[in-house]
Amino acid sequence: MARAATTTDAFNAVAEPVRRQILDALADGERRVNDLVVLLELPQPQVSKHLRVLREVGLVRVRPEGRERIYRLDGRSLRPIHDWVKNYERMWSERFDALDDVLEDLKKEEGRGNDDN
Amino acid sequence: MARAATTTDAFNAVAEPVRRQILDALADGERRVNDLVVLLELPQPQVSKHLRVLREVGLVRVRPEGRERIYRLDGRSLRPIHDWVKNYERMWSERFDALDDVLEDLKKEEGRGNDDN
DNA sequence: TTGACATATTCCTATATCGGCATATGATGC
DNA sequence: GCATCATATGCCGATATAGGAATATGTCAA
């Protein structure tokens, strides 16, 4: 086995910068393929191929409209990523430092519960 | 050009499941390489190689201690990921639905400010 | 029907990935 | 020094990836 297929999960799909660009573009609302082509200044096949990957992991949905295809964001597949990174938020956010302080204070004031962490 | 180098950014580094496992293991505290080997039940070279990638994107730091090497999580490089996905949170979180409701109410009543984080 | 437009797919090449195995480097203790 | 432990690196093969170019599919319009 070589590398995990990008088509497998959202983590891999989103590791590709162009695909993130596409998602960001779709965040403003649905778009036709060609709108994305123009917007991202990329060759059309490349866009279509990335859209395919995004489709396969459920990050976007298509709606045909005449000869055009309207792509729409479906961000729910991003949730696992969000939930995963969220556990690390404390490592950079001062908000969490503040929270830690509060917790420490609580421990001290709250009496002599001998909890160590 | 083929695929983006995993060593490039956190997005790519984290797309690999084993590396996420490693980070999760390190979230509990620093660990020697061999601890990780035992914990994840993986061949040592594989662990070392993944650690190298994680090191190169700044997700972990090493501290030599005798003939051992203690790896430590440095979650700050995860921040770009967190910030990016956070923009999509509204797409699955009911909290945001609630927030939307609040905003609607505010529009209607124009009266009181209700702080939801 | 025919031709123009919109999008998807196929074929191709270069690359870099992951894992396995063997080995190198480096530190410790005798 | 030498053997051992702990970790890192090198080389290998298989795979699949991203991008390019050409082409296929599908839809509309005259």
Q: What is the pLDDT of residues B103-117, one digit of tens each?
A: 666 766 654 444 443
Residue whose tokens read 């070392």: B48
Task: Look over chain A and give the mean of its residue pLDDT values, rounded to a whole number.
Answer: 86
Strand C at less than 7 A from CB of A34 = yes
Please tell me the predicted confidence (pLDDT) of residue B112. Answer: 44
Number of A:B CB contacts under 8 A? 69
Kindly state the tokens that stand for B75: 């979650």
CA distance B14 to chain A (A): 7
DSSP per-residue codes, B10-59: HHHHHTSHHHHHHHHHHHTS-EEHHHHHHHHT--HHHHHHHHHHHHHTTS
Q: What is the pTM of this model?
A: 0.82
Q: Express each pLDDT in A42-65 by its tens digit.
A: 999 999 999 999 999 999 999 999
Strand D contacted by B63 CB (< 7 A)? no
Interface contact A78-B85, CB threshold 8 A: yes
What is the predicted pLDDT for the residue at A8?
77
A7 in contact with nucleic chain C (CB within 7 A):
no
Name every residue whose Cβ is closer than 8 Å to that of residue A27 and which is 6 or more positions away in sequence: A73, B87, B88
- Tell me the pLDDT of chain B (117 aa) as tens digits: 555 655 679 999 999 999 999 999 999 999 999 999 999 999 999 999 999 999 999 999 999 999 999 999 999 999 999 999 999 999 888 776 666 667 666 766 654 444 443
DSSP track, A12-67 = HHHHSHHHHHHHHHHHTS-EEHHHHHHHHT--HHHHHHHHHHHHHTTSEEEEEETT
A interface test, pick of B11, B53, B76 with most A CB neighbours within 10 Å: B11
Contact (CB<8Å) B4/A16:
yes
